[in-house]
Every structure is written in C-alpha cells, then in structure tokens.
Structure 1
C-alpha cells in the first residue's frame, strides 16, 4: 500500500506551499488534485508583504517580485475624481523589505510552486480524487480514484485538506462551516484598457453607483476589474457578459476598456470551519475559512496556514515534539481567521452597502477622513501592518512567552537593516534559531553551540531601537520566524525551560 508522511488534498497555493516546505525538510508527501491541469486564469492576485517575507525563507520571494508587478499606492475615487492617495511604498519603507502590494496572478504563482516542487522530486497527481478516509491511532487510511477510473488504497501519517470551500476532507470530517453569503453578485474581468487608472497603482471607486476596483497587472495597459452587479441582472449570473454589467463606475474612473480577456461572476462568502483539526486530519486555506476579497487576504492567509502547520508536522514526524504540538495550529490560525473574517466583513460592507447613509459615508466622510488619518505615522503604520499581515501575531498563545523591549512572544520578528546587516538574511534557515542584538554572553554561545542551535548576533544600532528590540536580550525564533520566547536577561535557563515545558527539541 502506498505510504507517505503527509497526504495533501488540493494543489492550489496552500497545498503547494505545504508540500514545498515539508519536502525541503525531508518529509515525504503526496499532493493530489481532482483537476486535470493547473489553473489558467489569474484568480487571486495579491501577494502581501508578510507572504513575501515567508517566501524569502523558501527562496521564492525574488521570483515572485521579479515576475509580478509592485503596486506602490492605492487611490480612492469619488464623483469621477481622485479623492485620496495612500503611498504604500513610503508607509512600509522601514517595516519590511517589501513595502508594496505585489500583483502576481495565481496561475503564474501555482506554476512557480509546481516547478520548485518538481525540482524536489514531487509531482502533483492530477485527475485524482479523494473518495473517503478512516483515521487510526498512528495513520490515516485513504481511498482514491485514479485518472483511469480505478481505485487505490493508500495511507499516511497525516491528512491535509487544502481542497477549497467545497472541501471533501471537511465534509468527511463532518465539520460545520458556519457563516453566510453576501447578497451582492461580483464580476471579475481581466482587460486591456487605457485611462488614468492604468498608471500601475490600485484604484477604487467609492461612488454610490457601483463598487469597482482596478488592479494593475504586469505589462502595459493590462488590469483586473472587480465590481458589483446590483440590479435584477444579478438573479441570472450565468447569462451575464461583460457588456451587461453596469458601466457607471467604469465611466466614473474614466476607464476605456479596449479588450476583455476573461470574465466571470461569483458570490462572496464569509465562513470559518468549526474545527481546523480532528485527530490526524487538518483543514487549511479555503477549506477552513472563506471571506470577502477586501484587502486581498484570502490566498495569503492560506499560505500562512500552510507554513504554520508545516514546521509543526515536521517537528512531530522527526521526533522533535509530541503530537500535541499540532493542537497549536488550530489555536493560532482559527483566532486569526475569525479576526480576518470580522475585519474584511466590515470593510466589505462599508464599500458595497446601499442606502443614503452608506453613500454619505463613502462619498463625503471617507475621502476627508482617510487622508487625515494617513497623515499620522501611527495610523499609516497600523493600516499597512494590517493589510500586509505584518501585524499578525500569536501573543498569549501556548507557544508564545516573554517580552523584551516592545517585542513579545508571538510577534513577527521586526526587520532590522543597516548598511552591513539584514537580520532577515538568517531566516533562510528553516529551523529554530536565537537572535541577540548587542552582545551575547559566552554562556549563551556555548549553550547554543552544544545543541547546534544557530545563534545570530547583530551589533546594536539605532535601527534596533526603532524596531522595538531590547539591547542584549535573547529572541528565540520558531522555524516560521515568529518570536517564540523574548527574554531580556538572555538566560539560557529560560530557553531550556521553554523547550522542556512544551516537550520540544530544536532542529
């Protein structure tokens, strides 16, 4: 019977990143998908700064940035005029190596991940369908339908459901998927166009007429349009063509559509699964949570799920942790998914709600308040951290402990860059490591060396102060580059206690 450490159902970005991370660490995986080929339409576009930081660990960031388009600013339009401009490049300049929104269409994205996975000897098994599974104490027995129609039994230590909103894995677990569906019908179109919004930036129309967002694509004169269909035509989406959707918002943005390359309609849902783990089976990405497209968070959140789970599965499979480490996956990711659904729901409702009060808020108050808020550094930073997912943290959760400076256990490691040093360079090591900013004691150096735990020591600088780090403190980093322990005294006893209390060993 074919056996793997982890069987991954679904070969979208979430499943592919999970397979890639695990394969790089020597974990045997199978990844299968019921479709006959990778997607050929762009679908999800936005790659956030935090995803690029995590991709840097996998040596993917340069390829994504080089193959896509950097969006330096977002523009809000009201009554056919630009009303506010938010410069992303300057807001995030000191926070991340990637102070922009990266546009990298999902078809390109998946092809890159497939290519990298193939380089590690793993092929996506296409036209292969999950029929059912049974969980045991140490394995999961799985029944598959193969491309030729025959059936196959296989087993794995763990099963990962990355198979989308209609997840077969979630249904097989009988996990509820509470939430709802927004009343608006959305359309998406990839177009060739001209006009003011085709300047390489993001443009959003907030008029009462229709919601419309224009996302630039790589190349000249190419864009993705996302808009609403508000009238009776929404009752029969299967009959709609681009010519049928309202042109009011397009006219307000002074956009001339020259050619439509792709057009589709869809409904937007907001749901979070009741459980992300049952025994040896896990839910990730859209199988676990779906939400509005506000802020371009969906695909990025699924990728975050994959990286969070990957290092934990690796720890357990390599005997470096007890199985209960895997319970921290639903604790950490469900909390974020629920916050995200609530936040994007509020933004989505604001942008698309009907009625005179909603129109007043969008067309009169928002264009005035947003630029004024953006004038304050803290407000700009909060906005960028939220949308880019740099602000995501696991504070007050089982794997997070301590505080040193303004950095707490569970935080993303702050980025510190000088002419000589970039502290994110060390994060290409896909394992535990210790950072000290200032001086490290001989005791700490010897303790880390004895355990083959990488120790990175960076000279103290003004950049460290600005990042909120504490001088000479110890920061223990998880394999996904979040701070596990922040210890101001740099005590080796504190690190020893951290690992022993959680049944962990560094690798």
Structure 2
C-alpha cells in the first residue's frame, strides 16, 4: 500500500509526486491519458514557483529551458501605445525577477523526467473509477487500458484530475461559480513581421484582442484571443479561419503556418471543500479561473507544495491529522481571492460597449505606460503576478510579528554584500533565521531539535525589508514564516510546536 495515490499527472500532480518522493513518502501517480499533453494553454512559470523549484534543484533547468520575456507591448488599432520593460522587473523582490515563458507541454515533460529520475513512473491509461474512504485508508477502484480493474489501497488520495474531477464529484463537494460567454482560442503559429521580435504583444481593438507570446524558438509564437459574434455559437466547427483578424492585423504580422489550434470556454469556480477526510483536491479540481495573468498552473503547483510537506509530517507521525486541515484554510482563501482578481481583469479585457472600448483602447495604455515608470507600482504589479504577495496571515500555523513581518508572510528577499538570504531555502525543512545575533540558548535549542539556524550579520538592507534586528523567524518547510518573535526566545519556539502537536528530531 502506497502512502498517497495521486490521480492526474498534469503539473499539479507531478509536482505533488516530486515533493512527496523527495521527502521519502511513497506515492503512486496515475493518469488516464496516453502521455503528456502535446498542446498547452499555460505559458508562464512565475517567480514564486521558481523559488520552490530550488528545493528540488530544478529551478536552473526550468529557467534554462524557458524564455525570459524582455518586454510587453500594448497595441491599439494598429499603433503601439505602450511598452512595459519586464527584464529584472522584480530585482528587489525575488531571485527570479523576470517573466519566464515555458509552455506547459514542455514543462510537463521535464517534470516527468525528474520524477522518473527519482524512481517513480506515471502509470498512463489508468483511470480512477471510484473510491471509498475507510477512515484509516482509502480503497480505490482503477481501470487499466486493457480493461482490467484493480483495487488500490492508499493512506490518502489526491485529486489532481482537472475541472471535471471525479474525486470532487465523489466527495460531493460543490463547484460554485460561472462560465464566461466568450470562447477563447489558443494557437501555436509560425509568424513573420512581429516587431520587435522576441517580445510579447497585446493588441486591442474595439471588438477584438490578441495576445502574442514568443517562447524562444525562431518565428514560433503562441497566439491567444477570443472568438466573438455568431461564430461562437457553433464551437464544434471552429477553425483558425474563424478567429477575428482585426487585432492580429493591427500588429502587422503574417501567420505563415498554424501548427495547432484549440478553443475552450473559461470558467470561474472554487470548490466548497479542498479536503474531505483522506481525500484532497488540488489544481483545477479545486479552482478554475480566467487565464488573465498566467496564474492557473502556478496556483495548482503551489497547492501541491502546500499539501506535500503537511502530508509528509502526518504520514511520518511528526504531526497530528489536524495539520492537514490548514491546507484547505490556506489554499481556499487564496483561490477565492485569485478568482476575484482574474475575473476583474478578464471582464475589463473582454467587456463590450462604447465606454468599455474607450477605457480599454484609450485610457488603459496611458495608465500602463505612466504607472509602470513608478517603481512602487512596478514592484506591486510584479508581486501580484509572480504570487510573491501571497500570504497566510489567517492560518492556524501563523503566529507573531517582528518588525513589519508577520507570521504567514513570505520571507522578504534581501540582497546584501553580493549575496542574499534565500540560499538556505533550497532545503525542505523547518529552519530559523536571525538577522543580527542569535543567542547561545537559541543555538542550543535548535541543535537539540535538529532545526538549522541561519544567522545573518545585521545589514541596513534587512531593516529596509521590514526585518527586526535579533528577532527569530521560524520558517515552515515551504519557506513561509510560521512564527515571528521579536525577542528571539527558545521558549517561544518550544510553545509553538507543542501547541500544534508537531514533533521534531531529537
């Protein structure tokens, strides 16, 4: 019996399998498809995802395989109205201060290879038919390609099986929300005349828009937009010829070849329960939203990382079952917030009517050009898109405040003297940071409990990022701040773990 049965081998399921396997938790991962997707909608790998990929020594490989988009150009009715520079947009926020384009199909293949290197193979053409939560384990009925059925037992089941999730249906969790009336299309094309080449472009017209993204291969672009008017009434017959050409023509580009074309409706929904007993929902099985801002795939990956360290602690007997309840508390709140944000962006981009057209084509480009020249606005925009702004202040695992840093915050990223404070975050473990001087008593306590203590000589840059001198910052295995104690007392650490029933190595 494996500890965790993972249903679905998209990025969410693959990342969950990687993190659990890395931490010594046996998994089984199945998918009813024959192989990784050959097409993809998701294009961006955000900075927060790359920060977590350091924990698997995978960030550099993803960055090398992807493409750093240097700029985003905004076009209106055939004229470029604004250009936003994206190179090092978040230089003071993250070790990965850029927008990385890495199509999901290539991303999935890299994750599969990494999982295989750890000795785990995705079981393809294997479908989940049903399951039953027995209280102390889950019994699942699987169906193989040849029609053979199999009983599989696991301590936990993770439903990473997409928006039509069987896992979600069977636990009876609702999926409230709605569906936008527009039909989106996505196409992989070979194009000429893109200027500047190698940059991203968004073209707006009164009744049309198109997003063109370059991903590092000569003349290869991903094209995204909406299909409107009467053509959208019969989606089953749509081809690339049905795509509105106003915005595309406004860019002055020529589509030389369409390698593949797909269309889909966009939903905005969040499930009622991210956890029911021994069953968890992650990624699109738990939440779906518009593609605005490139958040979907990254959100599912962060679901997996949030859950993985908690499952590991419970499976290994280092924490009570109640620790797993914090998964729903933390991730459901963020999913609701994300859906609201992307809904506003999507509505703005696709709204119809003369006033909406005026705002979108006249006001927005001016605002974008002026606002992005203001450093604080530029940093704020990067934080939102990169998910480095995500916090868990209302989590039962978050406690205390030191400086302006609060329990539940992402650890502020600080560069100083040619180095930074994120090097230790490559480890998947509880750890303590002190900026200034750590007391001998704190060092003794950390040594006794097997928690790494990282003390950084105090720098003015630390204060600029809101860190308090000589304070204690306890980091969770997913690098969020669990506890901030301005006094830096070992007793505070002792109480934190004791109250939550979490045990540490002696």
Same fold by TM (over 0.5)?
A: yes
Q: Does 1:365 align with 2:363?
A: yes
Query: Following the alignment from structure 1 to structure 2, what is the Cα–Cα distance between the partners of residues 329 and 193?
Result: 44
Residue equivalent to 1:348: 346
Residue equivalent to 2:278: 280
**Which string of whole-angstrom CA distances, capped at 9 and with x for unpartnered residues, describes residues 423-447 of structure 1?**
2111111110001111111111111
SS at match of 1:258: strand
SS at match of 2:224: strand
**Which one of the candidate residues 297, 306, 309 is aligned to 1:308?**
306
How far off is 1:197 after superposition?
Answer: 4.4
**Which one of the candidate residues 212, 229, 233 is aligned to 1:231?**
229
Whether the 8 Å CA contact 2:411–2:480 is kept in 1: the answer is yes
How many pairs were matched up?
505
Residue equivalent to 1:488: 486
Query: Following the alignment from structure 2 to structure 1, what is the Cα–Cα distance between the partners of residues 369 and 37?
Result: 39
**Which one of the candidate residues 376, 391, 407 is aligned to 1:409?**
407
Whether the 8 Å CA contact 1:373–1:380 is kept in 2: the answer is yes
Query: Following the alignment from structure 2 to structure 1, what is the Cα–Cα distance between the partners of residues 372 and 363?
Result: 14
Residue equivalent to 2:427: 429
**Which one of the candidate residues 162, 170, 177 is aligned to 1:179?**
177
Whether the 8 Å CA contact 1:198–1:223 is kept in 2: the answer is no
Residue equivalent to 1:442: 440
Query: Following the alignment from structure 1 to structure 2, what is the Cα–Cα distance between the partners of residues 359 and 35?
Result: 42
Query: Following the alignment from structure 1 to structure 2, what is the Cα–Cα distance between the partners of residues 283 and 443?
Result: 42
Per mean C-alpha deviation after superposition, the further-off stretch among 456-465 and 15-24 is: 456-465
**Which string of whole-angstrom CA distances, capped at 9 and with x for unpartnered residues, describes residues 140-194 of structure 1?**
1111112221111111110000000000101111111111110011111111112
SS at match of 1:370: helix
How far off is 1:315 after superposition?
Answer: 0.6
Task: Identify unmatched segments of 5+ residues in structure 1.
Answer: none
Whether the 8 Å CA contact 2:306–2:327 is kept in 1: the answer is yes
Whether the 8 Å CA contact 1:194–1:256 is kept in 2: the answer is yes
Per mean C-alpha deviation after superposition, the further-off stretch among 55-64 and 497-506 is: 497-506
Query: Following the alignment from structure 1 to structure 2, what is the Cα–Cα distance between the partners of residues 481 and 312?
Result: 13
How far off is 1:400 after superposition?
Answer: 0.6
Residue equivalent to 1:4: 2
**Which string of whole-angstrom CA distances, capped at 9 and with x for unpartnered residues, describes residues 212-245 of structure 1?**
1111112121110001111111111221221221
Q: How does 1:91-240 map to 2 (within 5 A)?
A: 91-197=89-195, 199-240=197-238
Query: Following the alignment from structure 1 to structure 2, what is the Cα–Cα distance between the partners of residues 246 and 89?
Result: 31
Query: Following the alignment from structure 2 to structure 1, what is the Cα–Cα distance between the partners of residues 85 and 408?
Result: 29
Normalising to structure 2: TM-score of the pair? 0.98
Per mean C-alpha deviation after superposition, the further-off stretch among 436-445 and 463-472 is: 463-472
Whether the 8 Å CA contact 1:421–1:458 is kept in 2: the answer is no
How far off is 1:372 after superposition?
Answer: 2.4
Residue equivalent to 1:323: 321
**Which one of the candidate residues 47, 54, 57 is aligned to 2:45?**
47
**Which one of the candidate residues 15, 23, 43 is aligned to 1:25?**
23
Query: Following the alignment from structure 2 to structure 1, what is the Cα–Cα distance between the partners of residues 71 and 473?
Result: 34
**Which one of the candidate residues 387, 397, 404 is aligned to 2:395?**
397
**Which string of whole-angstrom CA distances, capped at 9 and with x for unpartnered residues, describes residues 443-490 of structure 1?**
111110011100011122232123221111111000001000111111
The alignment's C-alpha RMSD in Å is 1.2
Whether the 8 Å CA contact 2:472–2:484 is kept in 1: the answer is yes
Task: Identify unmatched segments of 5+ residues in structure 2.
Answer: none
SS at match of 2:483: strand
How far off is 1:373 after superposition?
Answer: 2.2
**Which string of whole-angstrom CA distances, capped at 9 and with x for unpartnered residues, describes residues 308-356 of structure 1?**
0000000100111000100000000000000000000000000011101
Whether the 8 Å CA contact 2:215–2:221 is kept in 1: the answer is yes
SS at match of 1:282: strand
Whether the 8 Å CA contact 1:431–1:506 is kept in 2: the answer is no
**Which one of the candidate residues 74, 78, 81 is aligned to 1:80?**
78
